Structure 1
Amino acid sequence: MASKTLALISLILTCCVLFYAFLWINLLENLKSFSLGFKDVVRAEFLWREIHQHIDDRAPINQSVITSALNFSSLGDTIDAKNLTIEREDKITPIPILYKTNFTKLPVWDFEDVYLQDHDARKPICSDSKSIHNTKDPKFKEAFLPNIQLWLYRGLLNITEWNRLAHFNNPFGFMEYKYDEIRATVDLIPKPKFLKLLPVPESAKDGCIRCAVVGLSGILNNSKMGKEIDSHDYVFRVNGALTQGYEEDVGNKTSVYVHTAFSLYSSLHKFKKVDHQRLLQNENTKHVMIPEGLRDFEWLQGLLQRKEATGHFKGVRPLELFKGHFNESRFYVLHPDFLRYIRYRFMLSEQTQRKVWALYRPTNGAFALFLALHTCDIVDVYGYITEDHKKYSNYYYEKLKSRVIFYINHDYGLEIKTWKNLHDAGILKLYQGKGDLNNTKT
């Protein structure tokens, strides 16, 4: 009798153990479905409670409290974009708004160097490339992430991602913005039909993509580099990309046009809408937008909803500027992670340690150049600032020479050094004027 009782008890205990094991396994699987993991959610919730009373009153924040409360370092330096489709919005809420005035210098979080990754990114096959993909330079090799997420589009912004990106000032994140407003706009951005910005040309038997990146510097005045620029497979241009009347010096081809909403709009008016209308109506041109600030999202909402924009561009209908030639398959928006990656790993300026830290960002030209480096195998750069910039006018299209003005929102000295370092490392070829023997085509 006793033995039967013991056997029954053993059976019951065994069933209980199996039942709880089953529950535990299912619990672990459910936790894995959180895009950043349960542990990070717990840390995040602790952070929000810890700083909420400070944020509401815009009071100074003890950053050591924040960084100790939220530590994403266990994530490594990547987040897979494919894992962002599952989220638990019923368990997570947007963090209280962080304000730039809370910080006397650039706040550096434990997850500062964590970026969304695109594991479907292009894998170069060009054997002749000495670009950043194949560089032997230890500094640039360590900084380069071949799978960095380039594009922002619907499905890539949920509450968890918002709570990460809301720690970074624009254009590197969404500090001071409201979740519902930005999410509504991002959900309008279609996923690019072609995630790889530029295909390998059929004529490229070696599989290499050869690109020219053209800036606006007066160094191109009377340079006669137009034919050489147009000989590349693709040509990147930025901002006031005026070519009409300057073809001999800067070429005529435009494959990728990089801009913000403001730079596009102001250039259209500055140049009487003539040359830029050709850019907007050219079916061979792809447009890449830098989401510089809130006005860019207002512009995007108007463009993608085919209506009048709000806020800064109130009264403007962005779609009408394209005169019926807007094509979503040729329109891209850069992801804040890509922009922050450029700032943090390649162009971290000393200006970020000053009270004006929030004003600083790399120029549109800098973002365009690094986009080309991540897209092309061979990159030649023209019309970018050089050490002897005082010899040249500010812009190549100016009739009267004007000096280059170093505005506080950019670190031109850092850009001069960066372009030269990339040139010396053999990652790109920088046009440095007629007297530079290194600029001779081989």
Structure 2
Amino acid sequence: MALHRRLVVGVVAVGSLLCVYMLCVSLDGPLSWSMVPFRHLQGFIRGTNESSSRDSEEPLDRETSRDQWTRPPPAAQHKPAENNAPDVSKSSSRTDEADGTRTKGPPMLQLVQADGPTEPPFIGDTYMSEDIPPLTQCPDNIRSRVTKTAFGGRFLEHIAVLQWAGHVTPEQHQRLSRYPGAHGWGELDYKTLVETLSVLNSTSSWQLLDDWPDRSNKSECIRCAAVGNGGVLKGSKKGKEIDAHHYVFRTNGAIIEGFEQDVGSRTTHYTFSTNTMMNSMRAYAGAGFRGPPQSKETRYVFLPDHDRDYLMMKAAATHRLVERGREKDKDPSRYFGEDVSAEKLKMYHPDFLRYLRNRFLRSGILKTRYKNMYRPSTGAVMLLAALHACDQVSAYGFMTPDYRNYSDHYYDSTYHPVGFFANHDMRMEMALWQQLHQAGLIRLYMHA
């Protein structure tokens, strides 16, 4: 009888342990992070730091892809937070370098993350917002049209596109240190951050189109051309049309000399990371790329993929050699010209880059082990920045469904098929350009 009681007690104990184990397993399961309807939540949603795999040897960004689309898929129905978050920070003021006068800086707002099923910590759907008045009263601008499209729910009109001195606080450093790579300050020490962004302290630092009053010529609308390097431009004879825009954006290995008839000759904004610029100079030297375009009107827009970008920015703005890192003792004037100044230098805000990834190019790569390497390509960031800053945008040299008819780049002397890398999703970018074109938000150049 005693033996029987011991057996019963043993079975009950084992059963209890099994129940506890099964409960723990169920609680430890993966959390869902598919797109869900958003509602406001006051304050920040805190994430945790993850060990990151930094793509320090990022392959050259591509504007074309290998896979074929017969038609673009429908735009994903993202439903992000409303763009009317309460002001939870104070306005900032700054000293203008040019004349030392005190000037009111753009008020900074925090857009809070949506309420709903918990997102993975690295997503971080919380962004810096700045209430900067529009430069024009264009009656047919992108902001007025986007609300009538499938992109209206995910487009944040007041997203901070650029980072500048007013953004550097210990609180912001703590918040953005959760995110690695281009999407935060996860591997950037506070001292380097302060020293770099302190030079970005004039009105030109937070305005992508800072010289609009000087070039508007009483135009009601700002017209921008975003020029990729895709082979679709070869023989296009679009050079004059491109140069006729108010602003002309280019990126990475943008070879102009000898190709003006097809790609134009002006560059007002050159987007790059230090890594992609250096890679382009090595890879395309034979085709004639010696470095970024240089002109009086050219602005240099850093995509801060690594601490290398902050170090190069600081050196360029202060006319000194790069103090440490991979570019140690290099002279930035070689790349940006002898007349480079802080007013000609800009840097994308990591919140803007994470916003583009989360709401426009949220790739399935984010569910793989390459998630910390993934970001939109440099060309994609350039085009989407123009979409947020300009009234009208035309895109040239980006991938179209007939991409296999063209070489990788317009300057290739022989046909080169394009390749894929885990840090970008070119298939998704190709579909996005088609969707934006069909929605009337950009005008995408395609062969007839």
TM-score in terms of structure 1 length:
0.71
Q: Residues 84 and 156 of structure 1 are in contact (CA less than 8 Å); yes or no, is this contact kept in structure 2?
A: no
Q: CA separation of 1:220/1:81 partners in 2, compared to 1, >3 Å: closer, same or farther? A: farther
What residue number does 1:371 align with? 385
Q: Residues 164 and 205 of structure 2 are in contact (CA less than 8 Å); yes or no, is this contact kept in structure 1?
A: no
Q: What SS does the corresponding residue of 2:204 show, helix, strand or coil? A: coil
Q: CA separation of 1:136/1:200 partners in 2, compared to 1, >3 Å: closer, same or farther? A: farther
What residue number does 1:316 align with? 330
Distance 1:78 1:265 in 2: 42
Q: CA separation of 1:246/1:427 partners in 2, compared to 1, >3 Å: closer, same or farther? A: same
What residue number does 2:245 align with? 232
1:395 partnered with 2:406: no
Q: Residues 229 and 253 of structure 2 are in contact (CA less than 8 Å); yes or no, is this contact kept in structure 1?
A: yes
What residue number does 1:419 align with? 433
Q: What SS does the corresponding residue of 1:177 show, helix, strand or coil? A: coil
Higher mean alpha-carbon deviation, 155-164 vs 300-309, is at 300-309
Q: CA separation of 1:310/1:414 partners in 2, compared to 1, >3 Å: closer, same or farther? A: same
1:112 partnered with 2:127: no
Q: What SS does the corresponding residue of 1:288 show, helix, strand or coil? A: strand
What residue number does 1:189 align with? 200
Structure 2: which amino acid aligns with 1:303?
A
Structure 1 residue 119 displacement after superposition = 0.9
What residue number does 1:408 align with? 422
Structure 1 residue 132 displacement after superposition = 4.4
Distance 1:287 1:323 in 2: 11
1:220 partnered with 2:233: yes
Aligned-residue CA RMSD in angstroms? 3.2
Q: 1:294 aligns with which of 304, 307, 317?
A: 307
Distance 1:351 1:205 in 2: 45
Q: CA separation of 1:143/1:240 partners in 2, compared to 1, >3 Å: closer, same or farther? A: same
> C-alpha deviations, 1:259-282, integer Å up to 9, x for none?
1112333444543897656723x1
Q: Which runs of 5+ in 1 are unaligned?
A: 1-38, 59-72, 87-105, 436-442
Q: Residues 201 and 233 of structure 1 are in contact (CA less than 8 Å); yes or no, is this contact kept in structure 2?
A: no
> C-alpha deviations, 1:226-250, integer Å up to 9, x for none?
1211121211111111110001111
Runs in 1 of length 4+ with deviation above 4 angstroms? 75-86, 200-206, 272-278
Map 1:331-346 → 2, pairs under 5 A = 331-346=345-360
Q: What SS does the corresponding residue of 1:311 show, helix, strand or coil? A: coil
What residue number does 1:432 align with? 446
Distance 1:321 1:364 in 2: 18
Distance 1:204 1:85 in 2: 30
Distance 2:290 2:310 in 1: 21
Structure 2: which amino acid aligns with 1:235?
V
TM-score in terms of structure 2 length:
0.70
Q: What SS does the corresponding residue of 2:151 show, helix, strand or coil? A: helix
Q: Residues 252 and 292 of structure 2 are in contact (CA less than 8 Å); yes or no, is this contact kept in structure 1?
A: no
Structure 1 residue 156 displacement after superposition = 1.0
Structure 1 residue 225 displacement after superposition = 1.3
Q: Residues 237 and 257 of structure 1 are in contact (CA less than 8 Å); yes or no, is this contact kept in structure 2?
A: yes
Q: What SS does the corresponding residue of 1:407 show, helix, strand or coil? A: coil
Distance 1:112 1:150 in 2: 16
Structure 1 residue 172 displacement after superposition = 0.7
Q: CA separation of 1:379/1:146 partners in 2, compared to 1, >3 Å: closer, same or farther? A: same
Q: 1:252 aligns with which of 261, 265, 279?
A: 265
Q: Residues 246 and 397 of structure 1 are in contact (CA less than 8 Å); yes or no, is this contact kept in structure 2?
A: yes
Q: CA separation of 1:389/1:79 partners in 2, compared to 1, >3 Å: closer, same or farther? A: farther
What residue number does 1:168 align with? 179
Q: CA separation of 1:206/1:299 partners in 2, compared to 1, >3 Å: closer, same or farther? A: closer
Distance 2:400 2:287 in 1: 30
What residue number does 1:125 align with? 137
Q: CA separation of 1:210/1:276 partners in 2, compared to 1, >3 Å: closer, same or farther? A: farther
Q: Residues 162 and 208 of structure 2 are in contact (CA less than 8 Å); yes or no, is this contact kept in structure 1?
A: no
1:262 partnered with 2:263: no
Distance 2:408 2:430 in 1: 14
Structure 1 residue 190 displacement after superposition = 3.2
Q: Which has the larger radius of gyration?
A: 1
Higher mean alpha-carbon deviation, 318-327 vs 356-365, is at 318-327
What residue number does 1:210 align with? 223
Distance 1:186 1:232 in 2: 30
Q: Residues 374 and 422 of structure 2 are in contact (CA less than 8 Å); yes or no, is this contact kept in structure 1?
A: yes
> C-alpha deviations, 1:396-438, integer Å up to 9, x for none?
10101100111111000100110000000000111122x2xxx
Q: CA separation of 1:417/1:334 partners in 2, compared to 1, >3 Å: closer, same or farther? A: same
1:154 partnered with 2:153: no
Distance 2:262 2:91 in 1: 47
Structure 1: which amino acid aligns with 2:444?
L
More helix by proportion, 1 or 2? 1
Structure 1 residue 285 displacement after superposition = 1.0
Q: CA separation of 1:261/1:190 partners in 2, compared to 1, >3 Å: closer, same or farther? A: farther
Q: Residues 122 and 196 of structure 1 are in contact (CA less than 8 Å); yes or no, is this contact kept in structure 2?
A: no
What residue number does 2:31 align with? none
User: How many pairs align?
Assistant: 351
Q: CA separation of 1:139/1:79 partners in 2, compared to 1, >3 Å: closer, same or farther? A: farther
What residue number does 1:10 align with? none
What residue number does 1:285 align with? 298
Structure 1: which amino acid aligns with 2:354?
R
Q: What SS does the corresponding residue of 1:116 show, helix, strand or coil? A: strand
Structure 1 residue 176 displacement after superposition = 3.5
Q: Residues 223 and 392 of structure 2 are in contact (CA less than 8 Å); yes or no, is this contact kept in structure 1?
A: yes
Q: Residues 289 and 333 of structure 1 are in contact (CA less than 8 Å); yes or no, is this contact kept in structure 2?
A: yes
Distance 1:421 1:201 in 2: 34
Q: What SS does the corresponding residue of 2:224 show, helix, strand or coil? A: strand
Q: Which runs of 5+ in 2 are unaligned?
A: 1-41, 52-80, 95-118
Q: What SS does the corresponding residue of 1:409 show, helix, strand or coil? A: coil
Q: Percent identity?
A: 31
Q: CA separation of 1:365/1:78 partners in 2, compared to 1, >3 Å: closer, same or farther? A: farther
What residue number does 2:98 align with? none
Higher relative contact order structure (alpha carbons within 8 Å, sequence separation ≥ 6): 2
